Amino acid sequence: MRSSSWPWFCAWLAVGALASLGLVAILSIGVYLLPLALLAAALLATRRGSAAGLPGLVSGLGVPLLYVAFLNRGGPGNVCTTTSTSQSCVDEYNPWVWLAAGVIFLLAGIVLGAVRQRRATLR
């Protein structure tokens, strides 16, 4: 990708990450994040040249999924943490599913951007 399209890619990545976080956390703060993501997308869509970084939206969808994989790195199953004064146990998801989905989205956006840039230079 050209250096001029990277800022747009990063801006769209942030919008995608915000939208994905809104979907992952739909039962809590997601209700407030989704309208914010739509507003940011509308604002970016009206800017000249922003379409060059649109594949960043796809990559951004993977960022919260990677964070969920990180949070569940001890799973799957019941994971207990013991300190000198207490013990707490939580049931964690399989992190490999979240990691795979996050990496696929992240790489898909990068590859899509590279293919799009290559087609633009061939014309």
Model confidence pLDDT, tens digit, residues 58-70: 999 999 999 999 9
What is the number of structural domains in the chain? 1
Nearest residue to 65 via CA among 95, 107, 87: 95
pTM of the model: 0.82
Task: List Cβ neighbours of 63 (8 Å cut-off, separation of 6 or more).
Answer: 13, 16, 17, 20, 21, 102, 106
> Residue 56: helix, strand or coil by DSSP?
helix
Question: Per the domain annotation, does 22 fall within a domain?
Answer: yes
Question: Per the domain annotation, does 106 fall within a domain?
Answer: yes
Given this model, what pLDDT does residue 79 score? 86
pLDDT at 53 over 70: yes
pLDDT at 55 over 80: yes
Question: Per the domain annotation, does 96 fall within a domain?
Answer: yes
- Residue where the block lists tokens 């992952």: 24
pLDDT at 3 over 80: no
- Cβ atoms of 39 and 84 within 8 Å: the answer is no
Question: Per the domain annotation, does 32 fall within a domain?
Answer: yes
Taking the CB of residue 68, how many other CB atoms lie within 10 A of it? 19
Question: Per the domain annotation, does 1 fall within a domain?
Answer: no
Taking the CB of residue 79, how many other CB atoms lie within 10 A of it? 14
Q: Residue 115 sits in which domain range?
A: 6-122
Rounded Cα distance between 86 and 77, Å, is: 20
Question: Per the domain annotation, does 90 fall within a domain?
Answer: yes
